[in-house]
Amino acid sequence: MSDLYNVSAAPHIRSPIKTNSIMRDVILALIPAGLFGIFNFGLRALLVILATVLSCVVTEYVYCRLMKKPVNPWDYSDIVTGLLLAFNLPSGIPIWMAVLGGVFAILIVKMLFGGLGQNFMNPALAARVFLFISFPARMSSFALDKVISPTVTDFLRDGVLVLDGVSGATPLGQLKAGETVDLLKLFIGNIGGTIGETSALALLIGAAYLFYRKVLTPIIPFIYILSFAIFALIFGGHGFDMNYILGHILSGGLILGAFFMATDYVTSPITPKGQLIFGAFLGIMTGIFRIIGTGVEGVSFAILLGNLLVPLIDNVTRPKTFGKERVKGVK
Amino acid sequence: MTYMGGIRIHEGKELSKDMPTTVLLPKGDLVFPLSQHIGTPAKPLVSKGDTVLVGQVIGEADGLVSSNIISSVSGTVKAIERRLMPTGKMEESIVITNDNQYNKIESYGQNRDYMNMSKEKIREAVKEAGIVGLGGAGFPTHVKLTPKNDSKIDYVIVNGAECEPYLTSDYRLMMEESEAIIEGLKIILRMFDNAKGIIAVEDDKPDAIEKLRVLAADESNIEVQALKTKYPQGGERQLVYVTTGRKMNSKKLPADVGCIVNNVATVAAIYNAVANSMPLTHRIVTISGDAAAEPQNFKVPLGMSFSEIIEAAGGFKVQPKKIIFGGPMMGNSMYTYEVPVTKTVNALLGFLKDDAAVEESACILCGRCYFRCPLNLLPMKLQLLGLNSEDEKFVELDGMECCGCGCCSYICPANRSLTQTIVQTKQRILEKRNVQHELYELHKDHAVNE
């Protein structure tokens, strides 16, 4: 019989938006911040980015091969994880450490829990915190000066940290010490920090693209930043000091975290109500870590804690079915 | 007003919307399945060798929820046997050899003073004419027009949304037989003293809206509403909500919230049956899709083979990868078009590629299925529960409320078969419930016998 048609259950058409096109959009949205990081911190930053991306991609591939799992059409989610991890690392980090972070993110946080869609924490952030706890000194030295003339071995082993010798106070440190900060500089990003977090401008351009492409909805990032701002207003001890509040919003990893890490589909709530609770929780936790706690940065910890609450939030914010009066509670 | 969720999809209507309806005459045998409606199959009134006329009742409604089957040609009964349907099922059917004379029954085409007919007479005429919901559901219309309490009906809604992509049969009807729709609605309104008529049309058909508005200008209790173009705007629950603000769940009928909903084609059929004594013998079908050589609309007799219609439409440009009876969102794909036109089939679409033939990948919990679900369900969770046979949980998360519109599967970036699994699970649970019920009945009888 020559008339062989496909037969399947309805619907028979599919939207052109696929997982990999979403991931591709996220990658495109991260490019401005990545380029700015390279401009700000020199080619060393590019090397770190390449190291984390490659280690993520290779880890996922090797894992699938070893575990005899089908190597699916490439969804690019490993590239996103690699990029986000690099953005959360200082440019002076030794390359082996960056690679270790990439392997940790993919192998431990993502694949061992079942791969894409199953991880309960943001892999890039979990790896960042893992590195932060393991190598606190390395992870909190934020070099701004560019590489001078390292030998190849120094370069790979130690990074540029020893060579440029500038660790410089970060804006968050300055804020904590009660100093004022240059907001324009903060907004543009010509400051110390991790590779991808410094330029609010570049990050916001990327985020705007994701909103335009409807990859992201604005609830989580805006509620996160708003609730943090309110927290800073009440508990910051500076009252209505725009320099203090905006300084806090623009520095550290808040913009990167709010727009690109907290909004990770897998580790954030599904319903708008849940996203509202999640965003507010992140804002308050970041405020506690940054302003009340002894450390200077709190975004990573706040988001990871928030990730752990997502199943709970999803359960209590179950949507009401159309035409049904009340949804029964969970057993 | 609009409802939450729904999708905007590539319409494909431009292919056939401006093609006026062509009337086709059948060549070969005509096949009339006894079950082309929801409810009990009709009982055959003819046997092999009998001669039949156009408009003759050849199958009689059996029981309360059932419908008459009417011959669309004159000729002889060739056989009563099981034939393949556009749904893929085999159904007991009356096969008639066309004598090409088109001799009609006596009453056929007689004008009736429909504005002075009693409610019972109108219902009787609708029942006699074998009219069922022509939008696709096939619910017997005379049953729909007989709610528990006529006076509690305050809206009669005519569904002209035609929200499925590619379909243009309702659009052509609205353009070409708009008077029949308005008059048909007036007939229905005569049965419900407190009701207001609403003709609801998606706003991508401004000319149809305009045309109906002009015709309804003098009718104080008929309103033509333009709806946002969004799938599934024509879904019953969505339509009732956007036109009246009333919400229904799956256990409710429109009549429970004071509404009667009928498709435009059904309403036109009511007019023809009541005013002109013309039973339901024809319908409009769209032939379209990117594989169709000349996408267009035909008015065809029920029972005619789709292969003849495809031939009249110039065939397919290339062998299509997939053929679908009905729209691409809720229609039925088939392995052949050697099947008859039934009351509920509104289109045959041919596609060069099969969008649905894709590998599923992991759910990334993006929530798109939830945001698009017009019923506010969580399809990604329901699918997993369905796959794991966690039926109790599935019911608890309102999986049984799913209307099968297909939005979740359409939008899923991981190509997951959400609608497919959920609809299947729903059916499985319903079957299980029936079996349990039967077991209970058996047990009860047994206990009594002892």
Please indicate whether, in this complex, the C-beta atoms of B351 and A18 are within 8 angstroms of each other. no
Quick check: A146 pLDDT over 80? no
Q: Residue B434 contacts by C-beta under 8 Å, 6 or more apart in sequence?
A: none
DSSP B132: B
**From B253, which residue of chain A is nearest by alpha-carbon distance?**
A323
Average the pLDDT over B237-262 and give the result. Answer: 93
User: What does the radius of gyration of chain B's CA atoms come to, in whole angstroms?
Assistant: 22
> How deeply is B315 buried, as exposed, middle or buried, from its count of CB atoms within 10 A (0-12, 13-18, 19+)?
middle
Q: What percent of chain B has pLDDT over 90?
A: 87
Chain A residue nearest residue B326, CA to CA: A10
Q: Report pLDDT for B444.
A: 56
A8 within some domain? no
Q: Which two tokens stand for residue B295?
A: 């996408």
Measured on CA atoms in the order A211, A214, A216, A217, is the torsion positive or negative? positive
> A-chain residues within 8 Å CB-CB of B406?
10-11
Cα Rg, chain A, nearest whole Å: 21
Overall average pLDDT of the A81-107 stretch: 95
Cβ–Cβ gap A12/B351 under 8 Å = yes
- pLDDT value for A69: 82
Asked whether the beta carbons of residue B319 and residue A2 sit closer than 8 angstroms, the reply is yes
Determine what percent of chain A falls in helix, strand and coil, rounding each to the nearest 5.
60, 0, 40
Check CB contact under 8 Å for B335 and A5: yes
Is A5 close to B323, i.e. CB distance below 8 A?
Answer: yes
Q: What is the pLDDT of residue A328?
A: 46
- For residue B314, the Cα-to-chain-centroid distance in whole angstroms is 26
Please answer whether residues B30 and B69 qualify as being in contact, where contact means their C-beta atoms are separated by less than 8 angstroms.
no
Is the pLDDT score of B449 beyond 60?
no
Alpha helices in B235-318 (DSSP H): 236-244, 264-276, 306-312
Q: What is d(CA B62, CA B60) in angstroms, rounded to the nearest whole number? A: 6
Contact yes or no for B376 and A320 at CB 8 A? yes
Q: Which residues of B touch A73 (CB under 8 A)?
A: 359, 361
Task: Say if strands B196-202 and B155-160 run parallel, antiparallel, or are unpaired.
Answer: parallel
Higher-confidence residue: A321 or A73?
A321
Owner of token pair 């949980």: B393
In A, minimum Cα distance to B349 occurs at A12
Per the listing, tokens 């289109």 go with B347
A330 pLDDT band, cuts 50/70/90, is very low
Which helix or strand (DSSP H or E) is residue B406 part of?
none
d(CA A114, CA A116): 7
Contact state of A12 with B328 under an 8 Å Cβ cutoff: yes
- Domain-located, residue A5: no
Residue B129 binned pLDDT confidence (cut-offs 50, 70, 90): very high
Residue A241 lies in a domain: yes
The shortest C-alpha distance from B159 to chain A (Å) reads 20
Report, as an integer, the average pLDDT of B291-298: 95
Residue A55 lies in a domain: yes
In a domain, A173, yes or no: yes
- State the smallest CA–CA distance between residue A199 and chain B in angstroms: 27
pLDDT of the residue at B21: 95
Residues 6+ apart with CB under 8 A from A254: A225, A228, A248, A286, A299
Which of chain B's residues have a Cβ under 8 Å away from the Cβ of A320?
376
Best of A24, A26, A75, A322 to disrupt the B interface (most B CBs within 10 Å) is A322
- pLDDT greater than 80 at residue A327: no
pTM for this model (two decimals): 0.90
Model pLDDT, residue A104? 97
Q: Which residues of A touch B398 (CB under 8 A)?
A: 321, 324, 327
Confidence check: pLDDT of B264 > 90: yes
Subunit contact B334:A322, Cβ cutoff 8 A: no
Whole-angstrom Cα distance, residue B77 to residue B111? 29
The predicted pLDDT at position A148 comes to 42
Report the pLDDT value the prediction gives residue B238, as an integer from 0 to 100. 94
pLDDT of residue B9: 87
pLDDT at A167: 43
d(CA B268, CA B33): 22
Using the beta-carbon criterion (under 8 Å), do B331 and A12 form an inter-chain contact?
yes
Closest to A64 measured CA to CA, from A77, A45, A47: A77
ipTM over 0.85: yes
φ/ψ of A318, rounded to 5, equals -60, 130
Using alpha carbons, list the distances in angstroms from residue B236 to A213, B2, B67, B135, B244: 31, 13, 21, 10, 12
Instruction: Return the pLDDT at B359.
Output: 87
Q: Looking at domain B13-22+108-276, which CATH architecture does it have?
A: 3-Layer(aba) Sandwich (3.40)
Contact at CB, B237 and A321, closer than 8 angstroms = no
The Cβ of residue B442 has, within 10 Å, a number of other Cβ atoms equal to 10
- Chain A residue whose CA is closest to B378: A319
The confidence score (pLDDT) of residue B137 equals 84
Phi first, then psi: what are they for B51, rounded to 5°?
Answer: -95, 145
Q: Do you find a cis peptide bond into A11, omega within 30 degrees of 0?
A: yes
Model pLDDT for residues B369-427, shown as the tens digit of each residue: 999 999 999 999 999 999 999 999 999 999 999 999 999 999 999 999 999 999 999 99
Residue A7 lies in a domain: no
β-pair type (B296-301, B282-288):
antiparallel
Distance CA(B299)–CA(B310), nearest Å, equals 13
**Amino acid identity, position A89:** L
Residue A176 is predicted with a pLDDT of 75
Q: Which residue has the higher pLDDT, A27 or B444?
A: A27
Are B335 and A21 in contact (CB < 8 Å)? Answer: no
A158-191 pLDDT per residue, tens? 444 433 334 455 777 777 777 788 888 889 988 8
- Chain A residues with CB under 8 Å of B164 CB are none
**Taking a C-beta distance cutoff of 8 angstroms, is the pair B162, B232 a contact?**
no
Facing A324 at nearest CB: one of B249, B321, B406:
B249
Would you call B377 and A319 a contact, using CB atoms and an 8 Å cutoff? yes
In angstroms, what separates the C-alpha of B26 from chain A's closest C-alpha? 23
Chain A residues within 8 angstroms (CB to CB) of chain B: 2-15, 17-19, 21-22, 72-73, 75, 77, 115-118, 265-266, 270-271, 318-324, 327-328, 331
Examine residue A322 and state whether it is found in any structural domain, yes or no: no
Q: What's the token pair of residue A309?
A: 């609450």
Which residues of A are less than 8 Å from B237 in CB distance? Answer: 322-323
Domain boundaries, chain B: 13-22+108-276, 368-449
Q: How far apart are CA B363 and CA A266, in angstroms?
A: 9
- Determine whether the interchain pair B328/A22 forms a contact, defined as Cβ–Cβ distance below 8 Å: no
Cβ–Cβ below 8 Å for A321 and B359: no
Which of A12, A19, A327 faces B324 most closely, judged by CB atoms?
A12
Report residue A27's pLDDT band, with 50, 70 and 90 as the boundaries. very high
Question: E-assigned strands of B39-89?
Answer: 43-44, 51-52, 57-60, 69-70, 75-84
Residue of B3, B356, B374 lying closest to A8 (CB–CB) = B356
Distance CA(B379)–CA(B365), nearest Å, equals: 10
What are the Cα distances from residue A134, in Å, to A128, A131, A154, A196? Answer: 10, 5, 21, 21
> Among A136-150, A280-294, B189-203, where is mean pLDDT lowest?
A136-150
Task: Compare all CA atoms of chain B with the CA of A118 and give the residue at the minimum distance.
Answer: B364
CB spacing of B356 vs A19 below 8 angstroms: no
Over 70: is that where the pLDDT of B140 sits?
yes
Is A17 close to B411, i.e. CB distance below 8 A? yes
Q: In angstroms, what separates the C-alpha of A58 from chain B's closest C-alpha?
A: 19
Question: Which domain range does residue A137 map to?
Answer: 19-316
Per the CB < 8 A criterion, the answer to whether B448 and B399 are in contact is: no
pLDDT at residue B57, rounded to an integer: 96
Per-residue pLDDT at B442 exceeds 70? no
The dihedral region occupied by B136, where left means phi > 0, alpha psi between -120 and 50, and beta the remainder, is left
Q: Compare CB distances from B376 to A7, A18, A319 and report the shortest one's residue.
A: A319
The structural domain count of chain A equals 1
Per-residue model confidence (pLDDT) at position A165: 37
Inter-chain touch B358–A14, beta carbons under 8 Å: yes
Kindly give, in sequence order, each residue whose CB lies less than 8 Å from that of residue A299, ignoring residues fewer than 6 positions away. A252, A253, A254, A256, A257, A258, A261, A286, A289
Mean pLDDT computed over every residue of chain B: 93
**Which has the closest alpha carbon to B298: B289, A50, B288, A146?**
B288
- Predicted local confidence at residue A159, as pLDDT: 46
Chain B residue with the nearest C-alpha to that of A311: B365
Chain A residues whose beta carbon lies within 8 Å of the beta carbon of residue B413? 15, 17-19, 21-22
Alpha-carbon distance of B446 to B449, in angstroms, equals 5
Model confidence pLDDT, tens digit, residues B28-64: 999 999 999 998 999 999 999 999 999 999 999 998 8
With a pLDDT cut of 90, the percent of chain A lying above it is: 63
Nearest to A6 among B249, B333, B363 (CB): B333
Q: Is residue A244 part of a domain?
A: yes
User: What pLDDT band is residue A143 in, cutting at 50, 70 and 90?
Assistant: low
Q: Give pLDDT, residue B122.
A: 94
Question: Is A102:A131 a contact under the CB 8 Å cutoff?
Answer: no
Asked if B184 and B267 touch (Cβ cutoff 8 Å), the reply is: yes
SS3 B200: strand
